[in-house]
Each structure stands twice: as structure tokens, then as C-alpha cells.
Chains A and B, each alone.
Chain A
Amino acid sequence: MSSTVSILPLRVQHLAFEANGTQLLDDVGFTLEAGRRTVLLGPNGAGKSLLLRLCHGLLRPTSGKIQWSAGAQRATRQQAMVFQRPVMLRRSTISNITHALAVRGVAREKRKARAESALEIAGLAELARRPARLLSGGEQQRLALARAWATEPDILFLDEPCASLDPAATHYVEALIEGFHADGTKIFMATHDLMQARRIGDEILFLHKGRLLESGDATAFFVQPKTKEGRAFIAGELLW
């Protein structure tokens, strides 16, 4: 959370992504406001990871617009992403965080303190000196979250952060996400897990085969989905 004004809302219009002649995302449009937790829900292969990467600037859209409410430079600095398989540098746990801070241009004397408080929050303070790649899957994902948190983003992209975690580790990660949210960071999380979407989502974007079929209030979506694909997904009948 920067002291200055947020880079949100994010406006996405007529977004399309095509690769090798296949339309993987087609005419996707939505607006992300600060505050509420947005869950990008959809079955495997719907295009959730693609959409997150496009929004975060890791991929270029074939057509369409992705507009932040801030200049490009500030917009890139004020966002962070946690991947499904966390990227762990071949360094100690704490160095994984100080490295990210250094890349982001945080002054040297501030890095250690900020990294330590991030580790504290993620329950990793004891493991600060351990090589990050020797941490368990759950610990690695918590480190990835702590690292993202330390860079103080306005918005955090999460791509199925719990997909390969057991229930206890999932619970821990979800609690951290909750903490980010309480702190004022916008959460934009992709998941295929209906139960997780119910637990975390304030609003739902429902993606199916590269098309955004529904978007809006989470309760409304779960109680009364507008599309037959939405109904089928909630009933557990939509397998792909």
C-alpha cells in the first residue's frame, strides 16, 4: 500500500488473446475496483492463468485494452504476482525477499527490516536463513506471498496459489490472503476450486473457454447464476 493514490481501478476492454490460430481469450471486459476480493473462477483450461498474465503485463494481448488508473511506470511497480508453482531463488528465505526489494529499488538499509516483518507475518521467521528451495510446498507458497507483500503492491495477482497444497497449508495461505485484504491490498485470485471461491470471493468473474460469462457479486453468482454453464459449474457438472 503506497501512501499515494492507488493504481486501481483497472479497466479491461475487449481483451483477446490468440495463439497458433486458436482464440484462447475472446472479448473479455471487466473493471477491478480497489477493496473487494475478486475471484476469477473457471474450470481448468478456461484461460484464467492467461488472463492474469495479460493483466499483469507478462503477455501482450492480441487486441483489446488494459488500462490502469496510473501511468505505466507506477502501474508496473505497484502490482505483484504469486504463481501456482512459486519461483524460489537459490538463496536463503530472507534473501528471496531482500532480493525482490532490491530489484524494486528499496533502499538497502530498509530491506532487512521489511523482509523480517514479512517473514514474521508469514510465520517463517524461524526459517529465515534456510535455503528457500528446502522449504515445504506450503512454506514456499507462504514465502512467495510474504515476498509479494513486502513490495507493498496495490493489487496482488494470485494464480491458484493453493492448487498443490494440502488442506492445512491451504488454510494458512488463505489466512495470509485475508490479511493482505484487511491491509487494503486488492486481491485478484484465479481458482478452479468452487469452495475456495466461496470462502474468498466478494465478487466473481466466471471464465469458460476463454469467454467471460458472468461477473458480479459472489452471493448472487452462487445463489443464482445467470448462465447454464455457471449453473453446471456450481452443480459440479462442468468438467472442462
Chain B
Amino acid sequence: MDTFVTAFAEAGALLVSFDLGFLSIVGLSMRISLTAVVLACLIGFPLGAIVALTHFPGRGAVTLLLNTFMGLPPVVVGLIVFLLLSRAGPLGVLGLLFTPAAMIIAQTILVTPIIAALTRQITSDLWIEYGEHLRSLNASPLGTVVTLIADARYSLATVVLAGFGRAIAEVGAVMIVGGNIDHATRVMTTAIALETSKGNLSTALGLGIVLMALALAANAAVQLINSRAQRRAALA
């Protein structure tokens, strides 16, 4: 119990000291996870909408895959990306292993199915409601997708934040492909794992608190968006 209290105190001190090493770890985490989420949205929004709105052979299988991949274990994704990027692997020549780029790739793979699967669900629900009106107006495929994504904006914002929450909190994938190299690929989750194993509980806890605060902020944003949407019922 004593160590717990001391750890908390030290963590607090670390937080207010603006320790540079500490801040760079937090900064790298944010940079990697935000980039991964943006990339996942660029792929996942259109992919989800296309699966929802078009008919092609194997559509059911794609839906099943997307839904299954929502729960991909991060270590497995890390392992696969590792194999692809390792010197002997097919993408080895790129020399990306143990760089932030590799971590971004791994997290993008982790988050894209979440964004795509939820986008598919949301747009197909909205299509049931809007479909006849949009077809009556003879909307183009692009116009249709733009309308549905624009009008699902509140639900989709929640999806984006869920994706971010998954990326920022995972440790398995970034550990394997990033290697937890100091000043290069060390992020909050891998640093917590390392500091804990070294017995530096205060540093680990300080990072843990920042991580929790970020998760809290993301969830608070989701809740704010939802309640705002509910208040304006109708735009939700």
C-alpha cells in the first residue's frame, strides 16, 4: 500500500515536471495512434459504405471478415506485420521494422476493421431509411455515399473515437514491430510494460495516469457527442 502511495506521489511530480523524455513518449504515442486512425478512416469509411450499399459476390463473407477482424488480437497483427517487414519478409527491403512507420502500419491494420465494420452497419441502417428518397432523386453513387456519411456524422464520430481508444491502449502490436527502442519507438504502453518490469513503478504509474486521462477524454468526447445528438434528437 505504501509503495502505491509513493508511486502516486512520484507520478504526480513527474507529470508536473514536464520531463522531456516523458513528454516525448506521450507525443509519439499520440502521433502514431492519430495517424493510424486517420489512415484507418480513409480506408474504412469508403470500404464500409461500399460493402453496405453495393451487391457483389462474396459480400456476406466480407461482412463476416470485417466483423471478425474487429477483435483481432494486437499481438497477432504485430506478428504478421513483423513477418512482412522483417529483413527476409516480402517488404523487408523497405527497412521499416522497428520504426514508427511500422507501428502506424500495425495500428492501422488493427483499427481499419473497426471503422469499416461499424461504418457498414451505420450506413446500411441509414440506407434503409433514406434509400427510396435518394433513388427518387436519382442521386449518383458518390452523392449517395456523401449524403449517408454526412448524415451519420454523429455515429461515425463515435466510431472514430472508439478506434482511437483501441489504438492508443494496445501494447502487443507496437511492442513487436516497434521494439520499444528508447527515443525512437517507445510509446506509453510499451514504456509502462518496461518500467513495471524494471520496478520503476512511479514512472509506469505516471504514464498509466496519462493514458487513462486520454482514454477518459476520448470517452467523454463520445458521451458529449451522443448527448448533444440526443438533445437535437433528430440529427442523431
Contacts and interface: CB of A to CB of B under 8 A. Distances in A.
A58 B136 contact: yes
Interface in A25-83: 56, 58, 76-77, 80-81, 83
Interface in B134-176: 134-140, 143, 147, 151
Interface in A158-214: none
A107 interface: no
B147 to A, nearest CB: 7
Contact of A134 (B138, B139, B234): B234
A154 B134 CA distance: 18
The 7 closest A-B CB pairs, nearest first, are A133-B234, A87-B133, A131-B234, A90-B151, A103-B137, A103-B139, A81-B136
Contacts, number: 50
A87 B132 contact: yes
A1 interface: no
A83 B234 contact: no
A91 interface: yes
B193 interface: no
Interface string A101-118: 011100000000000000
Contact of A90 (B132, B136, B140, B235): B235
B151 A56 contact: no
A58 B135 contact: yes
B198 interface: no
A89 B137 contact: no
Q: Is the interface of B mostly helix, strand, loop or mixed?
A: helix
A87 B126 CA distance: 11
A24 to B, nearest CB: 18
A7 to B, nearest CB: 13
A76 B140 CA distance: 13
A133 B235 contact: yes
A131 B235 contact: yes
Interface of B: 129-130, 132-140, 143, 147, 151, 232-236
Given A58-B136, A90-B234, A134-B233, 5 more contacts: A83-B132, A90-B236, A100-B137, A103-B138, A151-B137
Nearest to B154: A90
A146 to B, nearest CB: 14
B129 A87 contact: yes
Given A58-B136, A80-B136, A83-B132, A89 B147 contact: yes
24 contacts: A56-B136, A58-B132, A80-B136, A81-B132, A81-B136, A83-B132, A87-B132, A88-B234, A89-B133, A89-B147, A90-B151, A90-B234, A90-B235, A90-B236, A91-B151, A100-B137, A103-B134, A103-B147, A104-B137, A131-B234, A131-B235, A133-B234, A134-B234, A151-B137
A89 B151 contact: yes
Contacts of A133: 233-235
A103 B143 contact: yes
A137 B148 CA distance: 23
A206 to B, nearest CB: 25
A91 B235 contact: yes
A124 interface: no
Contacts of A89: 130, 133, 147, 151
